[in-house]
């Protein structure tokens, strides 16, 4: 039972670390977007174009991908999911091996 508790603790620690990084990314995105907006509109950097909108849009898209990874992908495809997939594939391989052995035994007995 100790090993299982340790695995649960490690999983919780990793999830908290992922969420912490996501929140930091969100704050960094907000501050960075504000900086890009101010640098364009108040300091006149690239005033002839709205380059900062493209930068913010691309950064927002990257943030959304990070959000999906943390809250959707990693939530369902964790260690338990990996184990289940491995067990399923091993069972399929064992089934095929058994079928082949049965077929070989039937052919050799004929």
Closest CA to 63 of 27, 99, 108, 105: 27
> Does residue 14 carry a pLDDT above 70?
yes
Query: What was the pLDDT predicted at 76?
Result: 78
What is the C-alpha separation between 34 and 18, in angstroms, rounded? 24
pLDDT tens digits along 69-83: 998 888 777 777 788
> Does residue 21 carry a pLDDT above 70?
yes
Query: What was the pLDDT predicted at 1?
Result: 60
Q: 89 to each of 80, 84, 86, 94, how far by Cα in Å?
A: 14, 9, 5, 9
What percent of the chain clears pLDDT 90, i.e. is strictly above it?
A: 41
What is the C-alpha separation between 18 and 69, in angstroms, rounded? 9
Q: Are 53 and 40 in contact (CB under 8 A)?
A: no
């Amino acid at each position: 039972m100790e090993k299982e508790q340790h695995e649960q603790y490690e999983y919780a620690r990793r999830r908290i670390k992922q969420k912490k990084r996501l929140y930091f990314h969100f704050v960094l995105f907000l501050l960075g977007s504000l900086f890009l907006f101010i640098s364009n509109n108040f300091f006149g950097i690239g005033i002839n174009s709205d380059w900062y909108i493209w930068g913010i849009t691309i950064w927002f898209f990257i943030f959304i991908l990070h959000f999906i990874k943390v809250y959707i992908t990693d939530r369902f495809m964790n260690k338990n999911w990996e184990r289940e997939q491995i067990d399923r594939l091993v069972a399929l391989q064992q089934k095929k091996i058994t079928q082949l052995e049965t077929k070989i035994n039937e052919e050799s007995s004929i």
